[in-house]
Amino acid sequence: MNKPLTDAEKIRRLPWSIAQDASNTIFASLTFFGTVFTLFLDELGLPKTQIGILLSLLPFCGLLALFIAPWGARVGFKRTFLTFWGLRKVMGACLLLTPWMLSHQGLPATFVYVGGVVLVFGICRAIGETAQYPWYQEIVPDYLRGRFTALTRLVCGIAGLLAIGLAGYILGHSTGLGRFMVLIAIGVAAGIVAVWCALFIPGGAPVPSANQQTTHLRGMIEALRDGNFGRYVAAICLISLAAGFAAFFPLFMLEEVGLSQSKTVLLSSASLIAGILASYFWGWAADRYGSRPVMLSSMYAQLLFPIGLFMIPRHSIWSVVAAFSLWAMGGLISMGSGIGATRLLYVSLCPPAKRTQYMAVYYAAIGLMGGCGPLVAGRLLDYSQPLSGHIGVFTLDPYTPIIGIYALLLVAAVLLIRRVKPEATMPTGKFASMFLHGHPLMAFGSLLRYNLALTEQARVSTTKRLGEAHSPLTVDELIEALSDPSFNVRYEAIVSIAHTQPDPKLIDCLVDVLGGYDPGLSLAAAWALGRMGDQRAIAPLRETLTSGYPLLRAHSARALATLGDVEIIPLLLERLRTECDEGLRLAYASALGALGGPEAVDVLLDYLRDVTDEQARGELAFAVARAIGEEHHFIRLWRRLHKAMGTASCAAVIALKNKIANLGPNNDELIDLT
């Protein structure tokens, strides 16, 4: 029996997986996938229906997964993957003979030849990827799934960007089929590198029990009966179907919007750049808040893409700007939905012990629907060629039906994903609302700095910035900072928490610090709990009123007063009369003033009469003013006294005499006293 891989062994070899995916991205971008291949088929002169047929062959081959998955598991996922991943590179090289076929055999024979190459390539791809899915579930630890997917997409995005940039340059500076042959040759070379990198990825050993076909069939039936998994697969099938329609969007930009071939190819670069910039964020968010909220929020935003296609200016100086902006937005959003969907499948929906059967059903289903997309879209495009006109600001053209169907498919997919039972994470609405509070961009920048900060000074500075963002996105890092080995960082974390929005997790952590061993941090926690204004802090603050640390009792009393805990007024009155510690007495008096109530006024005035320290007298006078509800008049007078003592005092006495005189006769004695 094969020894299970440890997480350390997996992580050490993950760079080879990333390198394999990056090299394969270059191969895919320049051969059978993406804009280059669609433009290559269009350059051959094939009608849209035939282009749709060729594009549909690749995903249709995914149906083989239903039958070959047990064989791949028995032979070994890694061995199966390497064998057929290598064979598909050979089929990629066969595309280099296309110009010869076209010149010697004509277009019909060329269509058959390219179709044969695509079909064999699709079979090899289907067998290889059927083994790849369960293999990749094995080699990536779940707690790193989101960030690993994000990092992989980041590196693949850069590789794809380089490939697309090269394709745009070559297509823009040459003509004829030869330019496509150069790109295909470069792609095949990159594909060979991808196979070589895959040799160093661990895992993928044979599964002896997989030789029982009945067990495999029973497992697939179980997967089909899994309602949660079924709803997810149905949603992904709709997305795959929509992707088949989207395969013709480059031709829409070329024929209807008026972009050149090179600019049409470079549209993908805008999408990749935006995806690269957003990849780490989406992966981090998926690991922290869950796959489903990330996926759903991205899919909601993705509905803007077809609206943008309907409204894009045609044959205008603004067409290029609008197109690149739209593709950039699409890349940013699709990165989120892709990372969320991948993590949701691997972490929550596919049981590791049944990954062969579940992945076979998943791969075959998306292959079936992914193949139907370009097939239907291509035929629909040929039928809708006469369509033209305007409806309001919207232009009608042959591509209008496929854009509309694309939008409807996305809506249906969203409705299905909403019915997938969520992980033990926050609801999608709450996740989306997190970006509407505070400063989300500042928060994310602070998170990056926090993870890079190593010195104490840097950690203190970044912890301060986490609080200044006033964003719920920084909650976990602020909690982590409370456990930092440095006292200064922990103290700064408490101060930062006090300045951010209240959160149940933050309140609980501050309560823990309040009852902790460090009195300095307990004092800060008491102040922070009072400042945050959360009523759940009242009970633990009451408990610290009996603490052995006088300063902690003082801070707790002030914090409870800030929270409006009127139930402690009798206790504070009693302690004010009996307490000998002047610092504590002043704190109790200040708390009584904040809580108000006529019963406290006489006690506060008696205390004020005996105090000689000017600062303490000022605080006590302020407490009296608050207790009788005249805080604003007191502060106004206090400020005037600090600016001009004599003038302010004289004006205050005159105003008081006038008020007494207005009370009526028989107040001469009071007037004389003033």
Section 238-244 average pLDDT: 89
Taking CB atoms within 8 Å and a gap of at least 24, the contacts of 394-401 are: 394/310, 394/311, 395/256, 395/310, 395/314, 397/256, 398/256, 399/248, 399/249, 399/251, 399/252, 399/256, 400/310
Separation CA 184–CA 187 (nearest Å): 5
User: Mutual orientation of helices 319-343 and 145-172 as an angle, nearest 10°?
Assistant: 150
In the chain, the percentage of residues whose pLDDT exceeds 70 is 93
User: Mutual orientation of helices 77-94 and 107-139 as an angle, nearest 10°?
Assistant: 160
For residue 163, is pLDDT > 80?
yes
Rg (CA), the chain: 35
Helix ranges (H only) for 344-427 are 355-383, 400-417
Tally of CB atoms within 10 A around 24: 22
Question: Lowest-confidence range among 6-15, 462-471, 653-662?
Answer: 653-662
Tokens at 531, concatenated: 């400042």
- Specify the pLDDT at position 206: 78
Section 333-352 average pLDDT: 84
CA distances from 231 to 130, 166, 300 (A): 21, 40, 17
Q: How would residue 292 be classed by pLDDT, with cut points 50, 70 and 90?
A: confident
Tokens at 59, concatenated: 């995903």
Tokens at 637, concatenated: 């007078």
Nearest in space to 140 (alpha carbons), one of 15, 304, 25, 265: 15
Q: What is the pLDDT of residues 185-216, one digit of tens each?
A: 999 999 999 999 989 888 877 776 544 555 66
Query: Are 420 and 231 a contacting pair, CB within 8 Å?
Result: yes
CA distances from 1 to 80, 209, 215 (A): 19, 11, 19
Query: Are 559 and 529 a contacting pair, CB within 8 Å?
Result: yes
In sequence order, the 6+-apart residues with CB closer than 8 A to the CB of 302 are 330, 333, 334, 337, 410
Query: Are 70 and 355 a contacting pair, CB within 8 Å?
Result: no
- The torsion angle over the Cα atoms of residues 301, 304, 305 and 309, rounded to 10 degrees, is 180
More confident residue, 356 or 304: 304
Q: What is the pLDDT of residues 526-539, one digit of tens each?
A: 999 998 888 888 99
pTM of the model: 0.65
- Specify the pLDDT at position 210: 46
CA angle 303, 306, 312 (to 5 degrees): 135
Separation CA 624–CA 612 (nearest Å): 16
- Specify the pLDDT at position 188: 92
For residue 504, is pLDDT > 50?
yes
What does pLDDT average to over the chain? 83
CA distances from 520 to 12, 514, 533 (A): 43, 10, 21
HEC sequence for 11-72 = HHHHHHHHHHHHHHHHHHHHCCCCHHHHHHHHHCCCCHHHHHHHHHHHHHHHHHHHHHHHHH
Q: How far is CA 601 from the centre of its chain?
A: 54
Tokens at 657, concatenated: 């005499």
Section 539-545 average pLDDT: 90
Separation CA 466–CA 481 (nearest Å): 10
More confident residue, 537 or 268: 537
**Identity of the residue numbered 317:** I
For residue 464, is pLDDT > 70?
yes
Count CA atoms within 13 Å of residue 325 on its CB side: 11
CA distances from 384 to 23, 245, 398, 458 (A): 39, 14, 5, 62
CA distances from 253 to 44, 173, 319 (A): 18, 19, 9
DSSP secondary structure letters along 264-281: HHHHHHHHHHHHHHHHHH
Tokens at 421, concatenated: 């039972």
For residue 664, is pLDDT > 70?
no
Query: Are 194 and 24 a contacting pair, CB within 8 Å?
Result: yes
Q: Token pair 């040759």 is at which residue?
A: 185
Section 29-53 average pLDDT: 85
Q: What is the pLDDT of residues 46-55, one digit of tens each?
A: 888 888 888 8
More confident residue, 435 or 183: 183
For residue 598, is pLDDT > 80?
no
Section 322-332 average pLDDT: 89
- Residue 342 DSSP one-character state: H
In sequence order, the 6+-apart residues with CB closer than 8 A to the CB of 517 are none
662, burial (CB in 10 Å: exposed 0-12, middle 13-18, buried 19+):
exposed
Q: How would residue 2 be classed by pLDDT, with cut points 50, 70 and 90?
A: low
Tokens at 476, concatenated: 């976990």
User: Mutual orientation of helices 304-311 and 291-302 as an angle, nearest 10°?
Assistant: 20
- Specify the pLDDT at position 649: 72
Classify 389 as helix, strand or coil: strand
State the distance between the two ends of the chain, measured CA to CA, in whole angstroms: 99
Query: Are 473 and 506 a contacting pair, CB within 8 Å?
Result: no
CA dihedral over 207, 212, 216, 222, signed as positive or negative: negative
Query: Are 414 and 296 a contacting pair, CB within 8 Å?
Result: yes
For residue 611, is pLDDT > 90?
no
Q: How would residue 614 be classed by pLDDT, with cut points 50, 70 and 90?
A: confident
Separation CA 145–CA 284 (nearest Å): 10
Separation CA 520–CA 189 (nearest Å): 64
More confident residue, 12 or 414: 414
Tokens at 189, concatenated: 């070379």
Q: What is the pLDDT of residues 371-417, one digit of tens each?
A: 888 888 888 888 888 888 877 777 888 889 999 999 999 999 999 98
Query: Are 485 and 454 a contacting pair, CB within 8 Å?
Result: no
In sequence order, the 6+-apart residues with CB closer than 8 A to the CB of 25 are 156, 159, 160, 163
Section 465-481 average pLDDT: 87
